[in-house]
Chain A
Amino acid sequence: MPAEAVIRKYSDMVYRIAFARSGNKADADDIYQEVFLRYIRRSPEFRSEEHAKAWFIKVSVNCARKFMSQKQKNAVTVGDWTENLLQDASDANAVESATVEERFLADERKAELYRELQKLDCDTRVLLHLYYFEELKTKEIAKLLHKTDSAVRVALFRARTKLRIQAQEDGALELLSE
């Protein structure tokens, strides 16, 4: 498959993983770039679509982890930037200029989910994303993240439980029910 087609094919997936991990557009943009720069630099030969997908997921997860672990040292807290986003959202009146986060926050339901997700740690958000959005099996996730299958299952269970408790406390249980 030509490189352009590969980039287009995996763009959304890479970006979503980056966003799941970072929770904001600016960082997701940076992580996205890093992933594709690695792809461009190395021009890996993929044996199959599955191989390509696995490569992009792994590189995305690793780049995001690397990026965020550094940024974490300097970043404002999640609470701080969520408040900033809320402020941004209230100031944003031009739809086309709104960032992904602002668009979410304009939709109350999505805003609720966004807030609940941001309360989870970033590893857990990635885990949920791979499971619920990319629909990877726990075994596949385990292989990609260098964990055991049971560790992934336990982490998913804990994440769901935590989300449920959070949602209950915040009165958003319906949103997060299975």
Chain B
Amino acid sequence: MFRKEYRDFMNAVKPEEALVEAVIEMHGELKGASPAEATRTAITTSAAETARAAIATSPAKATRTAASPARAAKPMKMLKVAAIVFCALLVLSAGTVVVDAATGGGVQSLLGIKDSVVAGENKTEVVLKEPEGEENYGGSMETEVEDDGTVTVVITTSDDAPVFSCNFKLEEYNREYQIGTSLKYCNTKEEIAWKVYQQCHRAFSMGTFNEKMRSAIIDELEKVKKEIGTGDEVKDGCAMGVQFMIDEFRTGYGMLEVVEDVVIDRDDVDGDGDCEEVLGLSFFKLDFQVMRLVTERTGQKEFVVDTVAGIPGKYRITMISYAPSLSYYTMKLD
């Protein structure tokens, strides 16, 4: 009975056709594009770990734990105000990339940035705009890349939500695509922040970075954050999300290892697109990645860490086997 009920129940769960189409379209666009090859070899970084770190160290932690019932009781308002559906459709034309906002389920184009960018030549313009047109419960993220390498990113939300754009002048650029996210169930600014961060991260994790690029991006994001401002839940949330991204770039906590301009993914350590779970302990992976690198470089196989899965203590970890081509790593935890 349960099996039947459950199967009936889950049979109704399917992705919207627009979402499937968007993914297929994204694949089609990337197929054969040389930048995709570049990013394929680059191991990208993880969103979750870094956001976790950022959250853990941010004042948001305190406010999150103190989120009031009153705040939670206004979901409908937040749905309207904060429902940012990042959904832009990238249309290629000769020499220029134009992004059109779609009403939902479209493909969002974001930047993949190659490491050949020279920081000094980056040109930035940050503009605060008012939303135009009729009331919009969605919002969009739009990107324009002109043939001279000028990239404009415009993120719009709705109502009193912040709207900002920033331009990057890149010597070369590497197009990549991401599809949207929704803030429908975001009831607090921290939740908004997480989603915004996630989108930022998707944009930036597509490429490889060098130190110059990193510092240039930090400057850009600082300006963006300033332009967003503060004063309401949505602005605060968006600003916080951008701050997470800044923290990640600044501290290098997320992209800890920039090895020969390749960013190592803490989750996908072997670069096969999978995200390895070591002993099922996600916090452990932070240490694991470092350990793996140390093992590779020095041969050291035993480590002592003071936190596993967020649980303080003294743990000795022994690297037993490590195979870059496999998804599995064998370690011993005492």
Contact = CB atoms under 8 A, between A and B. Distances in A.
Interface in A36-79: 36-44, 55, 58-59, 62-63, 65-67, 69-71, 73-76
B160 interface: no
Nearest to B39: A41
Interface residues of B, number: 66
B272 A44 contact: yes
A54 B14 CA distance: 19
A39 B282 contact: no
Nearest to B280: A146
Interface in B112-159: none
B191 A75 contact: yes
A59 B27 contact: no
Contacts of B243: none
Contacts of B267: 62, 66
B191 A33 contact: no
Nearest to B26: A40
Contacts of A80: 72, 187
A81 interface: yes
A25 B79 CA distance: 14
Contacts of B72: 76, 80
Interface string B1-41: 11101111110111110011001101110110000100110
B332 interface: no
Interface residues of A, number: 69
Contacts, number: 181
Given A41-B273, A87-B75, A87-B76, A132 B7 contact: yes
Nearest to A81: B185
Contacts of A55: 274
B260 to A, nearest CB: 19
A25 B9 CA distance: 14
A43 B39 CA distance: 12
A70 B13 contact: no
Contact of B31 (A3, A62, A91, A176): A3
A67 B48 CA distance: 7
Given A42-B272, A62-B277, A12 B27 contact: no
Contacts of B8: 110
A4 interface: yes
B19 to A, nearest CB: 6
Contacts of B180: 29, 33
A44 B24 CA distance: 16
Contacts of A27: 185
B55 A178 contact: no
A117 B179 CA distance: 29
Nearest to B272: A42
A124 interface: no
9 contacts: A11-B23, A33-B178, A66-B267, A70-B47, A84-B185, A110-B8, A129-B6, A132-B3, A174-B1
Top 7 closest A-B pairs, CB basis?
A: A42-B273, A38-B273, A70-B48, A15-B15, A74-B190, A26-B182, A62-B275
Interface of B: 1-3, 5-10, 12-16, 19-20, 23-24, 26-28, 30-31, 36, 39-40, 44, 46-48, 51-52, 55, 64, 72, 75-76, 178-185, 187-188, 190-191, 193-194, 198, 202, 267-268, 271-277, 279-280, 282, 327
Interface of A: 3-4, 7-8, 11-12, 14-16, 19-20, 24-30, 32-33, 36-44, 55, 58-59, 62-63, 65-67, 69-71, 73-76, 80-81, 84, 87, 91, 100, 103-104, 109-110, 113-114, 128-129, 132-133, 145-146, 160, 163, 174-178
Given A59-B275, A103-B12, A177-B1, 16 more contacts: A7-B20, A15-B14, A28-B13, A30-B198, A33-B179, A37-B26, A42-B271, A71-B191, A74-B190, A74-B191, A74-B193, A74-B194, A113-B9, A132-B2, A176-B1, A176-B2
